[in-house]
Structure 1
Amino acid sequence: MPRRFPSLNALKTFEAAARHLSFSNASEELNVTQAAVSRQIKLLEEDFGTPLFKRLTRSVELTEAGHRLFPALKEAFDQIEFAAHRVWDNRGNGILTISVLPTFSVKWLMPRIVDFSEKHPDIEIHLVNSIRPVDFDREDVDLAIRVGSPVMDTRAQGQVRIDLEMAKRDDQLEFLQLMPDRMVAVASPGYIAERGLVKTAADANAATLINMATRQHAWADFLQALGWAVERKNDGPAYGHFFMAIQAAMEGRGIALVPDVLVMDDIRSGLLVQAIPARVPSAGQYYLIGRKTGWEQKRVRIFRAWLESYLPAVQAEANAAGSLMS
């Protein structure tokens, strides 16, 4: 006897709408109009003979029937997605698309990605730069690298706060901790030669401090962690990305406060100098993020293993530099 199912397209539409509790968000995920979503839901409700959603003024809620259908349907689609990824994985290694923070991409990942390509020529890496929380339901990416915390903890004493959301739909994701996010103040050799290192609160008051739009509290938290009573001024230049702040520091425009992993190579090469003899951890870490359903794909496993091979050296350098240093 043949199986009897409602329209699979309608079921897929219902699952997306129920997961988001929004016809609008479901339409964006499925790349169809909101009217098309409403039409598919109506067809499904007619097939079942009962409403699945309560249509409110500006939102929707699941009915009792909708609540009965959604968990099993979501699990079924998760299993289909998992099985599909396993079949795709057996086709070959192919393309691996990774969403990466722009400065981390430029300053850390790209200088090392040649090594990966030489070791795994059958995997083509596509990098997509973004600072937004990664949304695997709407973005065509396999992995993401973000900074923050899977749980938005409040800032501990002596840490630089970090208010960044890393990803949407966290319960469906895997997180691999990569490296600490520790803030270091850097300037050009010329700036330091002219003004000297910043060793006291008075020195900090006199310095030109470069500000970051995405880390608005960074300088205040950093200086507080040092125990310096500094009257913060916002007279220095402000930028939207760390690579802009780093470039401004290289040009002698002031002192930039940035994650040390982004400037380790520049400090070693002499392009930048550590302007304040301290490094202060933030409340977050750098993470590799991926879907649970795709975490064991062959190309994902290979990239994870390659990335992890660099972590002991990064951690050793971090330990050698110390944390709070006077």
Structure 2
Amino acid sequence: MAYKGPSLQALRVFQVAARHLSFKLAASELNVTPSAVSHQIKALEEQLQFNLFRRLNRALSLTPAGLELLDAVDQHLSQLERATNDVIRRHGAPSIRAHILPFMATEIVIPKLYHFQQAHPEVELRIETSYSASEQFTLSGCDIGVRFGDGNWPGLIAEKLMEIRVTPVCSPEFQRQHQLQTLADIRGKTLINLPMEPDPWQRLAEEVGMAPLPPHPELTLDNYLSNLTAAEQNLGLALGLLPMAFPWLQKNRLIAPFDIHFQIDQSYWVVYRPQDADRPEIQIFKHWLLGLFEQLQRQSDEFYSFEAQKVSFVSQPHSG
């Protein structure tokens, strides 16, 4: 008998919309317009003959039927994805979809990717760098990814990629113009930041015993590459995350004007699903990443050989 239920496409649209509780955010993830999502959901509700969402003022919530359907769709689409991947692994060339934060991909991974391709030409690799806060706790269809946090993501295996130390950085020209000698000299200067709370510059001042920073010029940019680029262009001081920012310091694109480095509680982790742990291509790419960042960490530690004080002042995920 021919299947007459909702299409997989309609169920996928419903799943994404239900996860975000927003047609606009669902449209962004699916690369369609919000009206297309709305029409798809409306058609699905008409086919099923019951409502899946409650339309509130500027908000959505799931009806009891919607909650029940979401649970079923999550289970069955996950099962279908696993079955499809199993067939691909048995009969197709090994392939990996890796989600890597934009700065890390551009500045660290891609410049070394030639070596991975030479060593493992049999592995087809696709790297994705788009990021939204909702993806912090999922892999969004990817096989392996890099995340920033405490290593606790339910449903994912997390292996520490590198610890992070923080130091203020600026361009050599900015340091000369403002004659920066001690951390107190940041008062009144433009401080470049990611959109996170609490303000890490205030926490930095607290940790070294400085009085709270008075109101100061700020430049907030939503990704780490923009932060360092702005600092390189003499727009202010940024927070250098070592060892990620080490290549910029090594090439003198930026300098660390103060002998102050803080190790923070959060780290970068490579994450993947437990059911993918035995996939050879996942293990190959994971070990390559671990080796790449171990080398970067060692180079950075040798360059900055003194002990770092451990603090916790970066509490929010960022877009890399």
Fold shared by both chains (TM-score > 0.5): yes
Paired with 1:26 and 1:188, the residues of 2 have a C-alpha distance of: 37
In structure 1, the partner of 2:127 is: 127
Paired with 2:9 and 2:151, the residues of 1 have a C-alpha distance of: 31
In structure 2, the partner of 1:148 is: 149
In structure 2, the partner of 1:323 is: 308
Q: Which runs of 5+ in 1 are unaligned?
A: 46-50, 152-169
- Whether the 8 Å CA contact 2:161–2:293 is kept in 1: the answer is yes
Q: Which residue of 158, 165, 173 corresponds with 1:175?
A: 158
- Whether the 8 Å CA contact 1:176–1:287 is kept in 2: the answer is yes
**Structure 1 stretch 127-136 or stretch 20-29: which is displaced more?**
20-29
Correspondence 1:97-246 to 2 at 5 A: 97-133=97-133, 135=135, 141-149=142-150, 171-192=154-175, 195-201=178-184, 203-205=185-187, 208-215=189-196, 217-235=199-217, 238-246=220-228
Deviation for aligned residue 1:180 = 2.3
- Bigger Rg over Cα: 1
Deviation for aligned residue 1:212 = 1.8
Correspondence 1:298-313 to 2 at 5 A: 298-313=280-295
- Whether the 8 Å CA contact 1:280–1:324 is kept in 2: the answer is yes
In structure 1, the partner of 2:238 is: 256
Paired with 2:20 and 2:292, the residues of 1 have a C-alpha distance of: 41
In structure 1, the partner of 2:19 is: 20
Q: Relative to 1, partners in 2 of residues 1:137 and 1:176: Cα closer, same or farther, differing over 3 Å?
A: closer
- Whether the 8 Å CA contact 1:85–1:293 is kept in 2: the answer is no
Deviation for aligned residue 1:219 = 1.3
In structure 1, the partner of 2:316 is: none
In structure 1, the partner of 2:315 is: none
How far does the alpha carbon of each residue in 1:41-78 deviate from its partner, in whole angstroms, 9 at most, with x for none? 55446xxxxx6x57644345454x77777656643432
Deviation for aligned residue 1:17 = 7.5
Paired with 2:8 and 2:128, the residues of 1 have a C-alpha distance of: 32
**Structure 1 stretch 293-302 or stretch 214-223: which is displaced more?**
293-302
Q: Secondary structure at the match of 2:283?
A: helix
Paired with 2:213 and 2:63, the residues of 1 have a C-alpha distance of: 53
In structure 2, the partner of 1:279 is: 261
Paired with 2:47 and 2:7, the residues of 1 have a C-alpha distance of: 10
Deviation for aligned residue 1:110 = 2.3
Paired with 2:200 and 2:74, the residues of 1 have a C-alpha distance of: 41
Paired with 1:236 and 1:34, the residues of 2 have a C-alpha distance of: 39
In structure 2, the partner of 1:161 is: none
- Whether the 8 Å CA contact 1:145–1:287 is kept in 2: the answer is yes
Paired with 2:17 and 2:63, the residues of 1 have a C-alpha distance of: 7
How far does the alpha carbon of each residue in 1:276-316 deviate from its partner, in whole angstroms, 9 at most, with x for none? 21122345322334455555544333211211223433454
Q: Secondary structure at the match of 1:272?
A: coil
In structure 2, the partner of 1:92 is: 93
Paired with 1:182 and 1:134, the residues of 2 have a C-alpha distance of: 25
Paired with 2:307 and 2:70, the residues of 1 have a C-alpha distance of: 50
- Give the residue type in structure 2 aligned to 1:323: A
- Whether the 8 Å CA contact 2:149–2:266 is kept in 1: the answer is yes
Correspondence 1:26-45 to 2 at 5 A: 28=27, 33-44=37-48
How far does the alpha carbon of each residue in 1:69-126 deviate from its partner, in whole angstroms, 9 at most, with x for none? 76566434322321211222231124x3433332222222222222212212233444
Q: Relative to 1, partners in 2 of residues 1:12 and 1:81: Cα closer, same or farther, differing over 3 Å?
A: farther
In structure 2, the partner of 1:159 is: none
In structure 1, the partner of 2:249 is: 267
- Give the residue type in structure 1 aligned to 2:165: R
- Whether the 8 Å CA contact 2:249–2:255 is kept in 1: the answer is yes
- Give the residue type in structure 2 aligned to 1:278: I
Q: Relative to 1, partners in 2 of residues 1:237 and 1:76: Cα closer, same or farther, differing over 3 Å?
A: closer
**TM-score with structure 2 setting the length:** 0.70
- Considering only aligned residues, what root-mean-square deviation do their CA atoms show, in Å? 4.1
Deviation for aligned residue 1:205 = 2.4
- Give the residue type in structure 1 aligned to 2:243: V
Paired with 2:297 and 2:107, the residues of 1 have a C-alpha distance of: 17
Q: Relative to 1, partners in 2 of residues 1:37 and 1:226: Cα closer, same or farther, differing over 3 Å?
A: same
Paired with 2:9 and 2:61, the residues of 1 have a C-alpha distance of: 17
Deviation for aligned residue 1:227 = 1.4
**TM-score with structure 1 setting the length:** 0.69
